[in-house]
Amino acid sequence: MPLNFTCVERSQFKGEKDTLALFAWEQERLDTDGWFDTKKESHLKTVVQREGFKGKPGDCLIYYPENSLPCSRLALVGLGKKKEADLNSLRSAAGKALKASVRQSETLWVGLPQWSERTPLENVAQAIIEGAGLAEYEYLKYKTNGETRGEERILKNVQLVAEKTSDAARANAGIARAAIAVEATNFVRDLVNEPPSFKRPIELAKIAKNLANRHIKVKVYTKPEVERLGMNAFLGVSRGSSHDPVFVHLVYRPEGTPKKRLGLVGKGITFDSGGLNIKTGNNMTTMKLDMAGGATVMAVIAACEKLNIPHEVQGFIPFTENMPGGNAYKPGDVVRALNGKTIEILNTDAEGRLVLADALSFAVKQDLDAIIDLATLTGAVLIALGDLITGLMSNNDKLAQEFETAAKKTGEKIWRLPLDKDYKERYKSKVADMANIAARAGTPGTIGAGLFLQEFVSVKPWMHLDIAGTAWADTESVLQTAGGTGAMVRTLLEFLAN
Ligand code: BES
Ligand code: ZN
Ligand code: ZN
């Protein structure tokens, strides 16, 4: 069951049986004003000192009050130094408070912290709920033991507490946005974490179909229809699998005339074995993640409707496995993409750019104002930027900058890489218009893949997000269990809100 998130004013606080979380700044006086009299609760001061609680980022102190406190548990969570903290500090601190309460209390009350006046209260409340909602996520679907299934989780509500009624109303606006963003992020995490044999193209198409409503139309192209469309690069990739590919086209239309018309293209490889250029050992273990881009497109379109996004947003997802079956496409094969360009396959593991070539060509035909694609495209981006920073490439500075502004607000990290045209000639083929990998050493994998995709968007404002590093977390952190992350969902929603 999803948690209930709301904000009430102080007079409605009734947390006698619950946990109350208060934020604490490092090197500042502990602000418990209005909550309780620190003098009466002198033991708290002793505990704070003995435990060495300083309000540093990651600090979390649980205190069981003697008498004067209005709650049964107090969680003090550190935000760090005032001049170093940003909304990510708040997300993490809220995540800490949540993790310390999920098996302990039915309701977690959270006192809204004093924050810089430059940040609207809506955004402060939004960050807290995002932190709580992201930290709450666990993937328990296939656990059978009660304890590991999380059956002792008792938390139902997260209630922010504001000083004034007007503050509570503003906070609730931010909370509503956060709840939708969290739901969308966790939807992607669930789909990425799902075992690959349970999320074949047809199953994911069903999930897409279920998103249809008054504002969202969903069309699923089956294999014969994809053949008729002429998506031969995409079909080539699918040939080694015994499960048919599907192409999903979603359209969200707002009430009234849309401000802009935008396209989102997502890589939807439900499992990437590498094909005949098969991946080895550990390189294959996480390859159920290779549909993260497609899952993100579905999640964002579903959220557009809930957020009343003012733009028309279309989604394009080629779903297929990349397998080495008897009919698999081979190195040396040539495929003709939807836009007529021919591609020589030199490596069957560079399949993402092939399915995207057709999906981008299809999107271009819809005459949209801009196209954004998301793909777990290259292992190289993990080497360049690691697992915390998404690689951005674009043929349009304004689009890239607007997206960077959105990312600053959500705290998701991105870094733009140059689509230097001098690398393009390395994708020449002896027999076709281009090859799917570069022949020459010294070619940057991530930029090269971006240049390849650029050939299929012609002059449209376009942006490519390589989420191969960020879509997956190997190790757990406060806001993130190991596995799918839902990277870029929140930033896309922030970007689309304007
Ligand atoms: N799905 C992979 C990229 C990937 C690697 C995602 C690691 C997440 C983690 C992609 O299809 C791939 O295999 N790319 C190759 C391209 C190469 C053959 C040019 C790669 O990056 O090694
Ligand atoms: Zn691959
Ligand atoms: Zn792949």
Any atom of ligand 1 within 6 Å of the Cβ of 455:
no
Distance CA 362, CA 469 (A): 27
228 flagged as catalytic: no
Distance 59 CA to ligand 2 centre (A): 41
Whether pLDDT at 114 is above 80: yes
Atom nearest to 347 CA in ligand 1: 18
200 flagged as catalytic: no
Any atom of ligand 1 within 6 Å of the Cβ of 484:
no
User: What's the mean pLDDT in 456-475?
Assistant: 97
Distance 363 CA to ligand 1 centre (A): 23
Atom nearest to 290 CA in ligand 1: 1
Any atom of ligand 1 within 6 Å of the Cβ of 15:
no
User: What's the mean pLDDT in 369-394?
Assistant: 98
Q: Which residue has the CA at smallest separation from atom 17 of ligand 1?
A: 350
The percent of residues in the chain predicted with pLDDT above 70, rounded, is 100
Q: Which residue has the CA at smallest separation from atom 5 of ligand 1?
A: 379
Of 170, 189, 353, 490, catalytic: 353
Report the pLDDT value the prediction gives residue 38, as an integer from 0 to 100: 74
The alpha carbon of 101 is separated from its chain's Cα centroid by a whole number of angstroms, namely 24
If one residue of 284, 320, 349, 434 were mutated to test the ligand 1 pocket, choosing by the most ligand atoms within 8 A of its CB, it would be 349
Whether pLDDT at 37 is above 80: no
Report the pLDDT value the prediction gives residue 32, as an integer from 0 to 100: 82
Q: Which residues of 191-209 are buried (b: 16+ CB within 10 A; e: fewer)?
A: bbbbebeebbbebbbebbe
Report the pLDDT value the prediction gives residue 169, as an integer from 0 to 100: 96
Distance CA 322, CA 274 (A): 6
Distance 345 CA to ligand 2 centre (A): 12
Of 54, 56, 223, 279, catalytic: 279
Distance 265 CA to ligand 3 centre (A): 15
Atom nearest to 277 CA in ligand 1: 18
Whether pLDDT at 136 is above 80: yes
Any atom of ligand 1 within 6 Å of the Cβ of 292:
no
Q: Which residue has the CA at smallest separation from atom 16 of ligand 1?
A: 350
Any atom of ligand 1 within 6 Å of the Cβ of 290:
yes
Return the half-sphere exposure (C-beta side, CA atoms, 13 A cut-off) of residue 281.
1
The radius of gyration of the chain from alpha carbons, rounded to an integer in Å, stands at 24
User: What's the mean pLDDT in 149-166?
Assistant: 95
The percent of residues in the chain predicted with pLDDT above 90, rounded, is 93
* Per-residue pLDDT reduced to its tens digit, 198-231: 999 999 999 999 999 999 999 999 999 999 999 9
Instruction: Return the minimum-mean-pLDDT range out of 40-54, 131-145, 289-303, 336-350.
Output: 40-54
Q: Residue 207 belongs to what H/E stretch?
A: helix 201-209
Query: Which pLDDT band holds residue 124 (cuts at 50, 70, 90)?
Result: very high
Any atom of ligand 1 within 6 Å of the Cβ of 378:
yes
User: What's the mean pLDDT in 143-148?
Assistant: 93
Distance CA 466, CA 453 (A): 11
Report the pLDDT value the prediction gives residue 477, as an integer from 0 to 100: 97
* Per-residue pLDDT reduced to its tens digit, 186-206: 999 999 999 999 999 999 999
Distance CA 117, CA 405 (A): 20
Report the pLDDT value the prediction gives residue 65, as an integer from 0 to 100: 85
Who's near 414: CB < 8 A, 6+ residues apart?
389, 390, 391, 392, 403, 404, 407, 465, 491
Whether pLDDT at 33 is above 90: no
Distance CA 305, CA 251 (A): 11
Report the pLDDT value the prediction gives residue 496, as an integer from 0 to 100: 98
Query: Which pLDDT band holds residue 487 (cuts at 50, 70, 90)?
Result: very high
Whether pLDDT at 498 is above 80: yes
Tokens read off for 469: 């590093």
* Per-residue pLDDT reduced to its tens digit, 56-90: 999 999 999 876 778 999 999 999 999 999 999 99
Atom nearest to 449 CA in ligand 1: 19
Report the pLDDT value the prediction gives residue 69, as an integer from 0 to 100: 77
The alpha carbon of 302 is separated from its chain's Cα centroid by a whole number of angstroms, namely 14
Distance 377 CA to ligand 3 centre (A): 6
Q: Which residue has the CA at smallest separation from atom 8 of ligand 1?
A: 468
Distance CA 10, CA 18 (A): 15
pTM reported for the whole predicted model? 0.97
Any atom of ligand 1 within 6 Å of the Cβ of 468:
yes
Q: Which residue has the CA at smallest separation from atom 14 of ligand 1?
A: 378
SS3 of residue 465 by DSSP: strand
User: What's the mean pLDDT in 141-151?
Assistant: 93
Distance CA 443, CA 488 (A): 27
